[in-house]
Amino acid sequence: MKPPTPPRDPANQALFHKSERNRLIFMSVLLVGVLIAFVTALTQQGKHQRDQDERARGLIAQHEPEFTETVVVPPFEAAAQVAPKIQDSRPDDWVLLPSEVLQPYVDYTRGMSDVQFQAMELQELTPELHAALLADPGAFRAEPFRVRGFLGDIKSVEQADGTLEYRGWLTSEHGDVSHFVVTSLPDEAELDGYMRVDGLFLKLYRGKGQLDEWAEGPLFVGSRAVRSYPPSEPYDRDVLAARLDKVTDDTAQQASGLDGAVFNAQWLLMGYALDEASKEIDWDAVPELGNAEMVTMIKNGAADRGQPFRIPVSKNMGSWTEDPGENPLRLDHVTTGWIGNWTWSNQAGVIQYVMPAYRPDLQTAELVSGKGFFLKNFNYEPRDGGTRQAPYFVLTELEAFVPVESNTARHLMWFVGGLTVLLLILLPVLLRRDRRRSEELQRDLVRRKQERRRRLATQGVGTPPQG
């Protein structure tokens, strides 16, 4: 009689043993923990990025780019008709300025903007060009020029239609005299003030001033005269220090803005940034602008005014190139914008800057680093309202930072992920294999036991135990 096969242990009939289930649970919990940490890191990174983007949008709202407009400059068709009537070949003709010659120029330039004059590719009136005009006026008739100088004389002439016309002359720092006729003057126009006129050259002219003095030179007809500034002074350490001493920081209660003493100091500091003297600075020894430095700066800007700082790799929160208007450096463009850094956890968190350079390429840069000088704490109004202060810098250099792409972290992430998936696949397989081997071993043991019992029964040693 075949002995009955012993019943299997209920624990062995389960898919996995208790120890195997524990290992699976541990691996599952570990995987879930890794996934939660990964998702949390991505969430925090996204939140930080959204915070910076929101602040950037608030700052950009303060500096919305102007709409691009097409500049239309109508042709000066009357110039050819007026040219034969102009007389300035002899010095005796220089005092003549008949209405039939002047009025077409006045009508054409009336209301013409600075942008339109720039579109006409006007030339800066240098001493060389001034001499060329005196030598051969006919070669430059109706050509656009930009003239600067100290206001030597000014008087108004009422026209038949009731409008005013202003006539006078400017004396350049080289002593050259240039006459002008415009239809608009700035409110602060005064004798010996520095002015600029964009206009078309009409003729050589000799006029009499209010003090009965005579002056002769080329005559330019334009739409307006604007306030200007003498050329910037050469860099002088003491002069710059004196200008910076007059600068005050903005506060929530009082703001000096960027005019007056701040304007003078800013452009002198920008001149220093362009000067060879600034290249002698050992920038490696200059402090980096960290959170602690910014906190000190915001509390008391006077101690850091005019001091150099290195701007670490930071977030470009908006960059623009713009026309600064009349300025002592005669710059047509400057670059300005905002920079933020996640380590700047102080109340400002950003800096504003201006750089005497034309850098439209920075508009697309995500990260930047630079060098520059602190000028003052400046008030600005964020998009959500209120008033905030941010350090204002004059930069000598600002460059886009492109990080070297490293695949180490990515490879490590793929390795860990792959290893996790592999373990999740192999663990059940290995557990099933171990289970099969255990079952085979158990069956082999039972078989051997049964054979031993049969062998003993055959030899008559005794009756094998039942069950």
Read off the pLDDT band of 1 (50, 70, 90).
Answer: very low
Q: What is the mean pLDDT of residues 86-109?
A: 93
Please state, in angstroms and rounded to a whole number, the distance separating the CA atoms of residues 419 and 327: 64
Asked if the model's pLDDT at residue 48 lies above 70, the reply is no
- Residue 460 scores a pLDDT above 80: no
More confident residue, 12 or 311: 311
Q: pLDDT averaged over the chain?
A: 84
Sign of the C-alpha dihedral computed for residues 343, 346, 349 and 352 taken in this order: negative
**Mean pLDDT on 416-437:** 74
Mean pLDDT, to the nearest integer, of 349-374?
Answer: 95
- The helix, strand and coil proportions of the chain, stated in percent and rounded to the nearest 5, come to 40, 25, 35
The whole-number pLDDT of residue 425 equals: 78
Evaluate if residue 123 carries a pLDDT over 50. yes
Q: Cβ(373)–Cβ(413) under 8 Å?
A: no
What confidence tens digit (pLDDT) does each residue in 257-315 have? 888 899 999 999 999 999 988 889 999 999 999 999 999 999 999 999 999 999 999 99
Per-residue pLDDT, 333: 93
**In this model, does residue 444 exceed pLDDT 60?**
yes
Is 56 or 116 the better-scoring residue by pLDDT?
116
Q: 302: alpha, beta or left, given left = phi > 0 and alpha = psi -120 to 50?
A: alpha
Give the per-residue pLDDT at 2: 46
Extract the tokens encoding 351: 């800096």
Residue 67 has pLDDT above 60, yes or no: no
The pLDDT of 95-107, averaged and rounded, is 94
- Whether pLDDT at 434 is above 90: no
- Comparing 275-279, 306-310, 348-352, 408-412, the range with the smallest average pLDDT is 408-412
Confidence band of 406 (pLDDT split at 50, 70, 90)? low
Q: Which of 81, 110, 82, 120 is nearest to 202 (CA)?
A: 82
| Inter-CA distances, 324 with 69, 132, 334, Å | 18, 30, 6
